[in-house]
Every structure is written in structure tokens, then in C-alpha cells.
Amino acid sequence: MQIKINGKNIESLLDETILDVAIRNGIFIPHLCNDSDLSPEGNCRMCICEVNGKLISTCNTKVAPNMIVKTDTQKVMQLRKMNIELLLSRHKTNHNGRYNQLIELKEEHNIDTVRFSKKSRGIELNEQNYHRMDFKKKEKTHLDNEKKTNTKDDSSPSILRDNSKCILCGKCVNKCQITQDVNAICYTGRGVDLKVGTFFNQPLAQTDCVNCGQCVLVCPSGALREVDDIEKVKNAIQNPKKYVIAQTAPAIRASIGEEFGLPAGTLVTKKLVTALKKIGFDKVFDTDFGADLTIVAEASEFISRATNKGVVPMCTSCCPAWVKYIEQSYPQFIPNLSSCKSPHQMVGAIAKTYYAKKLHIDPKNIVVVSIMPCTAKKFECLRPEMNTYGFRDVDFVLTTRETARFMKSKRIDLVQMQETEYDNPLGESSGAGVIFGATGGVMEAAMRTAYEIVTGKGVSNLEFNQIRGLTGIKEGSIVMKGNEYNFAVAHGLANAKVLMDQIKTGKSKYHFIEAMACPGGCIGGGGQPMPTNNEIRQKRIDAIYREDRNLPLRKSHENPSIKKLYDEFLKLPNSKIAEKLLHTEYKKR
Amino acid sequence: MVISQDIKKIVKTYDKANLINILNQIQEKEGYLSEENIEYISEKLEISEAKIYEMASFYSSFKFKKKGMHTICVCNSPSCYINGSLNVLTTIEKITGLKPGEYNDIFDFKITQCIGCCNQAPAMLIDNVAYTKLDERKIMELLEKIKTSGMKSKNILKDEIQNKKAFKILKNTNFKSLKKAKAMSPEEVIQKVKESGLTGRGGAGFPAGLKWEFVNKTGKEGTLICNFDEGEPGTFKDKFIAVNNSQTLIEGIAIASYTLKCRHAYIYIRKEYDYLKTMLQKTITSSEKHLDGLKIQIIEGAGAYICGDETSIMNSIEGHSGRPRHKPPFPAQCGLWQKPTAINNVETLANVALLFEDKWDNNLRLFCISGDVNNGGVFEEKIGITFKELIQKAQPKEKVKALFFGAAGGCISYEDKLQFDHKQLQEKGAGLGSCTIIVVGEKQSIVDICHNIASFFVHESCGKCTPCREGTYRVCQLLEKIINKKGTKHDLLLIEELCDFIKTASFCPLGQSSCNHLIGALKYFRKEFEELCK
């Protein structure tokens, strides 16, 4: 149907909201609480426009034939200004240049002063008329286990909470409750006391939070942020005694360009290496190498379980948010998890043993920094199991956003960089390693190798389209030596929960399950550039598969560096040293 | 920590609609909701503990740690304020040594919003029982009794019983109307209700027959919710009906359920009417033989004015916080658990049974009058009655300056000859609403009353949308500034700007009507505001 926006005729579909139509046509209507992954809430009221003469919110109003929409009338602008002022009155501005939509709106609407005092509780609720008796009295809120003065929660190694910046758009709560069904955070209280909090206001680290960071990814005002480890990495680099190694996750090469103005889905692999070297890393390895290493180990593990009546379905273990989710919500299925460490942990372990030996460096002077799209990896690298011979496999994790900030702080423009190859021996990778970044990639990579191990031949079609893409739960099957093996791929924990509940009720038909906590897989991780929505996820995913297609090697077990690693060091997949460095344990939480 | 057998028994009664009842019962037993108990509920009912905490912390009456043995809630809404709630507060402070919001081993002392005892103001609740017409002596006696012997709830319903012959609304139809209705088809009953002109009595005035027709036309089994969350300050007519003619209410519910093909109806009763629950349940039980298998379940709120909104009531019954939903979709298509639902006010449903009788008149309403009057109460009068005639019946204490129509209905400057009629009131910037009138005498400060109402909305805002959550708070803050003679003319202009913003941009009717009183007050009594400004 046709509607009119600001005088122009615009085509729209039956079930679209006015806001969606506007966004699709590049017409700007400010919005803070709208998220394309969730149903519209109508909380922030920023999207109010004049529709057929009435002032209504456009995020939750569907289009109708001959609708007349005006987005910039004087009255609308007046409402927006007042709205922004009220939001700013409770929001402690941060000045560190981070992504903050509220500040952007403030500047766009030329708001210099906020006419409401910044003090948050100068008022005696319910005692308005008691003021004559004693003006200074303050009534406690009915939630008195709240610490009124302390608005920050820095208990988590991955996510920092600061309610003084929260504008109560509700996106984080919806992500955690609906998309992830983890329910670590929730609303508490009501009215002006409404806050985003936790069960009995426990610190985040004590809740069921799995550190996936989907909440951080949607926060428009900086109330939820990734824990910033840039300073620690800087110190390591500046320390002449330390040999600092960076490794990059598959997802980074397809996303970090967005932080420098490049369109989503631009591959910047070799520029990324140069930029990291410029920051001062001594070596830049590729986590994709670790992904190949993981596949070689995990494919064998899968085959062994599938053929020897081991515990099935086997579940991937490279997503630390997923692992924590199993440990706390489905501990009975811990035996289903693959015993393999995640790729970057494997690279770290190998770097501090195999590579340390090659360089004749004391491993205690090696610092491994993983550049990840992921906030949960900050939690993962601190797990006591992720230690080898007394050294942490990975010392620090920097998200994509932190890495971009780090580069910018040194005026390094990624776009202008020359191209450099990854360092060896831990820099060579196959396409199977790259596709780890997309949902379905781990499964596809595993099948490419498993098939060949079992049948002795390469699989006819390397690209498993049935498990690619953004559908929440995807499935496929493969026939090897006369036996059919079913596999499933889920992304977003609410979807993964469906698969686990199937196992619980005995209705699961799968032998192998890949689960990623983040919608889209790692390219949609909590540490990725903002915004992240389905359109952008798809572009990043397309880039990942493009890189796979353009690589000479597309199967993990063909990686010569992996072969060399086994020949020189690990010897056999089930050797004692392989067991120690590449495998891990889990515990009930 | 071991969960007590009593708690386990309570949790076993869960049936997806009564999570709020279960929490109420647990708090009744233990005095508060502990972490361990909520963890137990979470495990047994497979609802995440954070979600239960989110829901519980939304309501005013739930506590999360032990606070004394007895809860005192003093009403501070306009009618009680006008009649001396401040004195009640200072008296209690003198006796207990506690300030409002504080607690000790014996008492938890709170200020609460309208508890529906406006015509017997000032009033308070102690352990969910209402005590009215308070004076210093009465308060001292009550608190002494509690401290020494604990207190059994007295039969306060005695004070509420009225002369039934005087009120048409109190006629007991003895289920004759239900019989008549069941002899017709549901569609015929709907037609009859439509023709009668019955409009909703909850304040919105939507035609009841039309509402049921929407549900009936879906062809699916419908749900009926009786809205007994009477929370508008100055309103107590639904309580009046429930106390004096609950059987006719049940009959009305049965007739409505019949037209909606509803097998399971709900009565959502506010927490502040907890002391009416037993009586209501008795009536339901004794009416069972007439109900033909219809189940009527009482769901009890936990202190939230917003739960009088029809979408909030559904969220509350579903076990969530009482935040409102966006319309469309409308409850008739997608309501309680997405099923076709009709939500009707108590008075509306009582009238449903009565309209099968002769000489039923839609224009006969129950007016609630309180405030600066000596004979406040429920008056059954026709729409169109002059203010002079109506207000005289309540015997104003002094010359009447203004009338406030509840907290959300706006206010006007009193005029003898003005008629209580929708059109005339609208022209003056107010609304018929649920026929609630708070009489404000000459000696009262309008600015004080507005401040009182503004703080009511700050307390009751659900917090979902920016304008209501932030705006009502700032309005209250600015009014306080003005009352303390620290405000300027600029602050007055800012209040007006805020009022317009909140009215236009709020998500739901609560926010949209939260500044009506100020808009009216500034129109008719601006001088009082300006006099306080620098």
C-alpha cells in the first residue's frame, strides 16, 4: 500500500510499522528502544510523529492505506526536545567518546541546558505533604536491599553495569529474557525507582549471566559496557621484558572495518594484521589456525563417540557463554560437551609451549592477547582449567570495539594500512577455520573433516547450505559408510534451549549439535561493532563465506602448519601432551 | 535453609493465574518474601527467579525483608489529606517514634495511596484491615491493642452496610436475571445490553454490549475479568456494591460469562480491599448452584493503581508486573493469554443483572463524594443533576472552591448551576469519569492539593515510558519548589510545558491523564500558584 511520509509517497507492506518503513527508506525518525530483533515496546517515546493529525509513537503503529505521516513538525520537535531533556536529567554523561545514542540525539537537537536538576532523588516520595514537618527527610524505597549510592556493578569480568547512565529503554532486559532466555537481568521496582537489576540485586557475577554481552550490544546510552582491558594490554606491550602475541578471531576480519567507516561485510584481514603490528604486538597469529586445530581434535572426538556408542548428541564447546549455560542450567548434559578447548585457548596453550620453545623464550614472559568479537571470552580466559603448566593460555581478551578504540587512540587508520600476512607457525589457516565465525560454521568445518576421516574421500559439496544463514535452528544430515548422522545448529540461547529440552525429554534425533549463544554466531558477538542487526549480521556472514571460498585450503586437516605441529610436538591426537594442552574440563555451577 | 510445609502447600496451588495470590499468601505467613522462598518457587514452577523478583518488586505491598510484626499504611490521598492525614502521621510518629518509611521490631510504618475509605477519612490500614474516622484517641487505642495483644480484624464491614431500600443498585435480583438471560441466546443477551445503553462504569464509559459483541464475534471461548481494582482516589462505590449486594455482582458476572462463552472468570480485587475477600468468596461459593459450572476465581492485587487499567490487569493475572500493553491488539481479540477477553467494572457488572428488571436507567449513577464534606458517601443520582443539588447532599463544611474528579479526572472551579453532564464537564476541561467528586473548600490551598495528587502519580507510575516516569517526578519536584516559596514564574511555565508533554506523549491513559488536575488548576486557580512564586 501507499502512505505519505513528509509529502512523499512511500510503498509499504501490510504488516510493517511506520518506523520500519521510515528506516527502510532512509527517513530519520529518532528511536532509542526499538530493536529489529524484538517486538516494539514503545518505552522511550522518541519515535513520536504526527500521523493523520495525531501524535503517536511510530514504532508500534502499523501502516494503513493513505496514512499521512509528518516526522518533523514543530510540535514533534518540541516533544523530542523535552523527551531528550528528561532522559538526560537522569543520565550521567560520559565523555569518553563511546557509542552513545543519547548524546548523539542531544547534539543533533541542539540541547545545551537541561532544565531539570541532575540530582536523582531530592524528593520525598509519599511524603509530599510531610514536607512542612521536616523537609530533609528521605523515605527509603520499598526495595531496601538496594544500595542507593552505588550504581556501578563491576563484579563481572566481561560486562560493566552503571545504572547512572541507564535510560530504561528495556532492550537489555528483553535480549536477556526473550532472545537468550537466560534471565540474569530484570526490571526491579516501579516508576521513578524502576531500575535494571538482578535477582535481589546480586552482583552480576553471582547471577546466571553467561557473559554473552547481547545486552551490551544494544545499550544506547553506555549503561552496559564491555570491561575495558586496553590499559592492561598497553602495559604489556610497553614492558620490554614481555613478548606480546595477538591472535585474531575469524569474525574480526569481517567486522572491524565498520568501526572505521567501511560498509558491513568488508574483509580487512591483511590490513588488520598490519594495524596490530603497528600497535606494537610482537607477533600476530590467527585464531583460525586454532579453529583448524579444534576441528582436527573435535572431528575425531565426534567420530569416536558416534561409532563407539559414546555420549551423543555431542555439543560444541567453543562458545564460552554456551558452556557456562550448560554448566548452570543443564549440568546433566556436561558429558555431552566436547572436551576440546575453544580455538583461541588452544592457540594460547600452543604459543606458550611449542612456540615458546622455538623462540627460546620463558613462557612466563609471553603475553597472549586474543582479539575477539566476544565478551564471554574475557570470562573464559580466567577459567582455572585454561591453564597450562601454571601459565594462563590466554592473558587478555580485547573485543573488536576495544581493538578499534586502541587503534584510534594511536591514530592508526585501519583503512590506510598496507597488507601484511599473518606470522607463522600459528598463522596459517584453511577456509574451514574461517567459517567458525558464522553460525553453522563449526558444524560445516567439522563435517568437511569428519567425512574424509571416515570415508577416506573428500565430501562432494564443501558448502553445507542447509546449516548456513540466520534461521534460529537449522538441521542437516550426512551419510558416512552407510550410517546417517543428524546434526543441528542453533544460535541464540533460547533456540539452543529448544534442542536441550529435546534431549531432556528423550526426543533428540541428533548426533552432533553446534550451539552459539549469539544470534548470527560469533559475528554477532557481544564485543562487535554497534549497531548489529540482521541486515548487518548477514553481510558479515557473507564476508566470512567469501573468505572461505577464496582460500586455497578449505579443510582443517589439510593445514600444513597443523601437520607440522603434530609431527614436531603433539605427535598424536590422543597423546598426553595433546590431552593436556588442547582439552579441558567442566563443572556444575 | 528448609522451606516450611506451609509454604510448600501454598506453592502447590499454582494454576498459572495465581502467582500473585501465592506471593500474597507467603507474605501473609512469613511477613515478607525471602530469597530462599522465591528460589523455591522458581524451582517448583519453572519460572526464572529474576522474573519472579521483577514481578514482585513492582508492587507496593511486597516486602523483601522482615519489617516489624504489624504494617501500618496511612492513606495520604486527597480526601484523607483534606481531613487530616497529616495529624494521623504525626500522632503515629509520636507514639511509635517512627517516621513514615521506617520500621522497628513491632511496626512497619508506611504512607499509602487511596484505600477507598474516602467518605470516612482520615483512614489507615493495619495488617490489611481498614480503620476509619481516625482521631488521636482512636489511634492510640488501636496501637496499644496491637502492641499488647495483637489484634483480630474487627468487623469493619458493619460500618459499610447501607439501607438497601434506598438504592436501586442494591436490589438483589436473586438470580432471576441470570435465568432470563440463559433463556435467550448469548447474541440476544448482547443485543439487549446494547439496546439498554449500558456504558462502562470504570471511568472510560465504553458501551458494555459492544465490548462483549467483539469477543463473541471471534467465535472462540472468551474470558471475563471483573475489575475490582478500584483505585481512583475518592472512589469507593465498587466496595459499596460488593459489601451490600455481592450476589447481584456475581449474577452479573455469570450473565456476562454466558455471552462470552466463558467458563472461567476472574475477579481482580485490589490488595487494599483484602478484608472483603472472605465475604466475596462466601458469596461465590453459595451461588455455585446457579453458576452452572462457571468458575469464578479471585485474584488479589498487591498495591498498584495502574492495575486498574485493563491491559495491566491482564499482565498482573498472567504473573507479570502490571505494566500496560499497547492497543491494538485489543483485549477482545488478544487478551488474557492471548485469548478474547472482556474486562468490566464492578458497577457495570452489577448493572448487567439489574437491567433485566423494569425501569432500569443507564443515567442513574453512583456518585462518590468526599473531601471537605460532613456527609460524604455514595449517592445514587441521575446524570444532569446540578452540582448545587448534588453537593448539598454531602453537606459541604464550608464554601466550595473547587471540585476534583478523582486524581485523573481534572478539576474545575465550583459553580452552583453547572450540571453533572458529560458535555458540560468536557467544555470545562474535565470528565465524567467514574463520577468521583472530591470537594475542596475555600480554605484549602489548591497548590497543596495538586502537589498531593502529583505525588500520587509519581508513586503509581509504572515506569515504562519516559514522559510519565520522568515527567511526573519533575512536575512534583517543581510543585514542591513552588510550595516552599523557592519557585519562579519560569518554573510555572516549565510545569505547563511538562503537563502538555506528559499528556501528549505518554504510553497509556494513566500518564495521559496524570496532569489533568494541574491543567485545570492552572486554568481556574492560577493566581494561587503565582502568589507563591518569586
- Out of B89, B455, B505, whose CB is closest to A48? B505
Residues B507, A42: C-beta atoms closer than 8 Å: yes
Whether residues B128 and B201 fall in one domain: no
User: Which residue ranges of chain A lie beneath pLDDT 50?
Assistant: 120-147
Q: Which residue of A has its CA nearest to B468?
A: A191
CA distance B508 to chain A (A): 10
Rounded CA separation B138/A455 (Å): 92
Q: How far is CA A459 from CA A316, A448, A449, A463, A554, in A?
A: 21, 6, 8, 9, 11
Whether residues B371 and B240 fall in one domain: no
Quickly tell me which residue has 524451582 as its cell.
Answer: B43
Whether residues B223 and B295 fall in one domain: yes
Whether residues B216 and B319 fall in one domain: yes
Rounded CA separation A541/B420 (Å): 66
Burial B382-421 (b: 16+ CB within 10 A, else e): ebebebeebbebbebbeebbbbbbbbbbbbbbbeeebbbe
State the cell numbers at A319: 562458545
CATH number of residue B320's parent domain: 3.40.50.11540
* ipTM of this complex prediction, to 2 decimal places: 0.94
Whether residues B175 and B220 fall in one domain: yes
Whether residues B339 and B393 fall in one domain: no
CATH number of residue B372's parent domain: 3.10.20.600
Which positions of A are annotated as active-site residues?
A: 298, 301, 318, 338, 377, 380, 385, 522
CATH number of residue B466's parent domain: 1.20.1440.230
Q: What is the pLDDT along chain B (534 residues), one digit of tens a residue?
A: 788 999 999 999 999 999 999 999 999 999 999 999 999 999 999 999 999 999 999 999 999 999 999 999 999 999 999 999 999 999 999 999 999 989 999 999 999 999 999 999 999 999 999 999 999 999 999 998 888 876 665 656 666 666 777 889 999 999 999 999 999 999 999 999 999 999 999 999 999 999 999 999 999 999 999 999 999 999 999 999 999 999 999 999 999 999 999 999 999 999 999 999 999 999 999 999 999 999 999 999 999 999 999 999 999 999 999 999 999 999 999 999 999 999 999 999 999 999 998 889 999 999 999 999 999 999 999 999 999 999 999 999 999 999 999 999 999 999 988 999 888 998 988 888 889 999 999 999 999 999 999 999 999 999 999 999 999 999 999 999 999 999 999 999 999 999 999 999 999 999 999 999 999 999 999 999 999 998
Interface of A with B in 441-470 (CB under 8 A): none
Q: Which of A233, A222, A229 is nearest to A152 (CA)?
A: A222
Looking at the domain covering A235-582, what would its CATH class be? Answer: alpha beta
Tell me if B81 is assigned to some domain: yes
Q: Which of B256, B193, B261 is nearest to B227 (CA)?
A: B256
Residues A184, B50: C-beta atoms closer than 8 Å: yes
CA distance B167 to chain A (A): 36
State the cell numbers at A87: 532522559
Is the Cβ of A18 closer than 8 Å to some Cβ of chain B? Answer: no
Query: In chain B, helix, strand, coil percent, each to 5?
Result: 50, 15, 35
Three-class DSSP category at B412 = strand
- Count of CB atoms situated within 10 Å of the CB of B101: 21
Contacts of A57 in chain B (CB under 8 A): 507
- Out of A82, A135, A190, whose CB is closest to B462? A190
Query: Which residue intervals of B428-488 are DSSP H helices?
Result: 446-460, 466, 472-483
Q: How far is CA A305 from CA A103, A237, A436, A492, A511, in A?
A: 54, 43, 22, 26, 9
Residues B454, A139: C-beta atoms closer than 8 Å: no
Whether residues B372 and B511 fall in one domain: no
- Out of B460, B461, B505, whose CB is closest to A79? B505
Q: Which residue of A has its CA nearest to B462?
A: A191
- Where in chain A do CATH 3.30.70.20 domains reside? 141-226
Mutant choice from A120, A134, A137, A142 vs B, greatest count of B C-beta within 10 A: A142
Residues A192, B469: C-beta atoms closer than 8 Å: yes
Rounded CA separation B11/B37 (Å): 10
Tell me if B144 is assigned to some domain: yes
Mutant choice from A128, A148, A186, A207 vs B, greatest count of B C-beta within 10 A: A128
- Where in chain A do CATH 3.40.50.1780 domains reside? 235-582
Rounded CA separation A428/A289 (Å): 6
Rounded CA separation A343/A288 (Å): 7
Is the Cβ of A198 closer than 8 Å to some Cβ of chain B? Answer: yes
Mutant choice from A34, A79, A82 vs B, greatest count of B C-beta within 10 A: A82
- Out of A131, A133, A192, whose CB is closest to B463? A192
Whether residues B309 and B432 fall in one domain: no
- Out of A78, A168, A199, whose CB is closest to B53? A199
Interface of A with B in 128-147 (CB under 8 A): 128-135, 137, 139-140, 142-145
Three-class DSSP category at A187 = strand
CA distance B103 to chain A (A): 11
Three-class DSSP category at A167 = coil
- Give this prediction's pTM: 0.94
Tell me if B24 is assigned to some domain: yes
Tell me if B424 is assigned to some domain: yes
Mutant choice from B53, B309, B503 vs A, greatest count of A C-beta within 10 A: B53
Is the Cβ of A41 closer than 8 Å to some Cβ of chain B? Answer: yes
CA distance A193 to chain B (A): 8
Whether residues B193 and B294 fall in one domain: yes
Asked whether B429 and B525 are in contact (CB, 8 A), the reply is no
Is the Cβ of A118 closer than 8 Å to some Cβ of chain B? Answer: no
Is the Cβ of A190 closer than 8 Å to some Cβ of chain B? Answer: yes
Tell me if B63 is assigned to some domain: no
Contacts of A39 in chain B (CB under 8 A): none
Whether residues B181 and B304 fall in one domain: yes
Tell me if B160 is assigned to some domain: no
Whether residues B101 and B86 fall in one domain: yes
Interface of A with B in 291-330 (CB under 8 A): none
Contacts of B49 in chain A (CB under 8 A): 183, 199
Is the Cβ of A335 closer than 8 Å to some Cβ of chain B? Answer: no
A-B interface: how many C-beta pairs under 8 angstroms?
Answer: 185
Q: What is the DSSP string of A500-549?
A: HHHHHTT----SEEEEESSTTSGGG-TTS-S---HHHHHHHHHHHHHHHH
Tell me the β-bridge partners of B386: B419
Q: What kind of fold does domain A141-226 have according to CATH?
A: Alpha-Beta Plaits (3.30.70)
Number of domains present in the structure of chain B: 5
Rounded CA separation A509/A502 (Å): 9
Report the DSSP pairing between strands A54-57 and A48-51: antiparallel
Whether residues B435 and B461 fall in one domain: no
Contacts of A130 in chain B (CB under 8 A): 86, 89, 100, 111
Residues B465, A43: C-beta atoms closer than 8 Å: yes
- How many Å is the Cα radius of gyration of chain B? 23
* Architecture of the domain spanning A1-120: Roll (3.10)
Residue at a domain's end among B126, B154, B182: B154
Q: Give per-residue pLDDT as tens, A237-292.
A: 999 999 999 999 999 999 999 999 999 999 999 999 999 999 999 999 999 999 99
Tell me if B359 is assigned to some domain: no
- Where in chain A do CATH 3.10.20.740 domains reside? 1-120
Tell me if B159 is assigned to some domain: no
CA distance A168 to chain B (A): 8
Range of the domain at B429: 364-441
In sign, the C-alpha dihedral spanning B88, B92, B97, B103 is: negative
